[in-house]
Structures are given as structure tokens and as C-alpha cells.
Amino acid sequence: MTNIGHDSQPLLQPVRLGALTLANRLVMAPLTRNRSAAGYIPWDLNALYYAQRASAGLIVSEATAINPFGHGGANTPGLYTPEQIEGWRLVTSAVHGKGGRIFAQLWHTGRQAPAETIPTGSERQTTLNLTKQGIALITAEYAQAARNAIAAGFDGVEIHGANGYLPDQFLEDGTNARSDDYGGSIEHRARFLLDATRAAISAVGADRVGVRLSPGGTFGDISDSMPWETFSYAVRELDKLALAYIHLVEPRNDRGEPAELATARFRPLISRPTQLIVAGGYDRASGNAAIAEGTADLVAFGRLFISNPDLPARFAREASLTAYDRSTFYGGGAAGYVDYPTLQAG
């Protein structure tokens, strides 16, 4: 193994992100693992998992529901009850104790919410059935979830506007059939995403808020007739808010997502000091290249962080990487969660 240093590995260089200075440019991507305790409450096992990965420049938490309608499955965490806030405080304290930084990803799944997670007697909150009063309530819940995140010890929040979840359902015309101020034109369809983002900013400040988008993504049966026009508008409007960062997911060819929506095309639309985080299939070489070429400021790694909790150290030493086990991604206990090895000292 060789330690090739920070000069030849831009990923290992520090960076300013909003209110924070990060030790490196590796971001642990948000990863749903379905291991919260009853009541959608984080617990000791989650604290250990995140603390093991605290050497990431920034951790973005797994998707975390802003209200009881926003979950994406069993044992996914929330951030809307006192017990959930206390559970997350275990996590953030553990991460900070290891010198790490962590943002909470705020989640509302909309029409993707599984039936078993919807409160009894209720229906899913979707673009079609929400009144303007309902939209205003959810927007306020984004603000409250952001305040709850800071109360729980998080360093900031990320609005989950990707992967066909509620903000994405409003943004894209394949799912938004409204004809009022929240539907029709691109400007109207982007309103919910921007309202939710502004709500979080009002609660915790723009330098502690990021937004994740997946231009051209198809997950959740999402689509748009003019994806470049839609997403370039959204990115330009988000850029005006002076966020800590915008987090973009690369299109995936195996899903038929258009290559012209590659994240590099959006870089000129994002003004400093807002940083661009990119995600989607990066490894050490391609991540370093993206930063060296100026097409990204930070790179998010998901599956590699699952099985390599000390990923920055492995990159620094050009060490081999541990393979991940897909069968343990969702649900279960310690196996495939907190039992992956780290490099030996020396």
C-alpha cells in the first residue's frame, strides 16, 4: 500500500462547505438501511454504524421522514417526535466524538410511501390530493424537521428532492398533473421544492442547507418531457438561495437515463461558494478526476462506505477495498452493518 498524499488526491483535500470546514471531500451518501428501532427511532446500533464512518468529510444521513406520511419502509427513521430527536442525538454525538460532520436528509416519499407506514385511516400525501393548505402544512414540517435536526445535534440538513419522492413528484411533469400555482409550467412545478428549501433555510440558515436532485432519474416511475429545461431551471433557482451545496445524482445508462443530464453540465449554473456534490458510481480515480477537472467539489460514495467504513484512509493508502454484501443492505442487525473491517494500524 502507498500513501500518495493530498496533492495527487484532491478528494483528500479540505474544503469549506457552508458553515463548516471539512477534512476531506469524500461524502458518505445517504443510504437507507432499515435498521431503526420501533417508533422509527435511531438507537445505539445506528450510532455505532455512523461513528465508524466519521472520517468522511461529511456524512449525509439515511433518508429521514419529516412526518408520519413520509416514510419509505419499515424501520426507516423519522425526525418529528421527541423520541426520534433523542435517538438521533445518540448518532450525532457519536459522530462528533470521532471528529465527523453529519447532515440529516429530510424525506417525504409522497406516493411512494408503503401502505404499512401510512397512519390508519389516512391516504398518501401526493401531488394530486394535496390542497394548498396541505402543501403549506408540509412546507412548515420541513422547517420544523430542520429545527429538530439542529436540536438533535446535526450540522445541517439536506432536502431530498431526488428519486421520485414528493418534491420530485411536484417538479416533473410525468407525475404533476396540477393546474394551479403548483403545476403546469416549470416555474409552478418547481415551487414546492423551492418552498421546502426556503422553509429549511428560514429555520437553520442557508449555510446549513443542501438539496439533492436526480436529473433524468427514473426511480419511482418518474419522468419529465423536458428534463434539461426542468432541472436547469431548478438548479438556477436553488443557486440563488446561496445554499451550502447542491447534490446531483449522475444519470444511469442501465435505467435509460439521458447522458446529456450528466452532472458536469450543471456545474456552470452553480455559483460559489455553493458547492457541487456529485454521486453515482464513482471510485477513487474518477472521484479525484472530477474534482481535479473542476466538474465537482465533493464526491459522494454510497456502497463503498457500507463495506469500507474507513474509506478515506483506504483511498489515501491505495488499499484494497472490501466487497459489499447486497443481501444485508436493507433490514437486519449488526451483520453487514457494523461488522466490516478497517485497515490495521501502521
- Give the domain CATH number at 223: 3.20.20.70
For the four alpha carbons of 122, 128, 134 and 136, in that order, the dihedral sign comes to positive
Q: What residues are annotated to the active site? A: 165
- pLDDT confidence of 254, banded at 50, 70, 90? confident
At 86, give phi and psi (nearest 5°). -65, -40
In a domain, residue 249? The reply is: yes
Rounded to 5°, the CA angle 184-185-189 comes to 75
In a domain, residue 3? The reply is: no
Q: Which amino acid is at 44?
A: D
SS3 of residue 118 by DSSP: coil
pLDDT digits (tens, 9 = 90+) for 69-96: 999 999 999 999 999 999 999 999 999 9
| Residues of the domain holding 91 | 10-301
Distances (CA, A) of 296 to 48, 60, 152, 158, 215: 30, 17, 30, 18, 16
**Inter-residue contact 145 to 107 (CB < 8 Å):** no
What's the average model confidence in pLDDT over 188-208?
98
pTM metric for this prediction: 0.96
Instruction: Of 88, 217, 119, 116, give the one whose Cα is nearest residue 160.
Output: 217
In a domain, residue 287? The reply is: yes
Residue 12 exposed, middle or buried by CB count within 10 Å (0-12, 13-18, 19+)? buried
C-alpha cell read off for 95: 459522530
In a domain, residue 318? The reply is: no
- pLDDT confidence of 346, banded at 50, 70, 90? very low
Share of the chain above pLDDT 90, in %: 94
Q: Provide the number of structural domains found in the chain.
A: 1
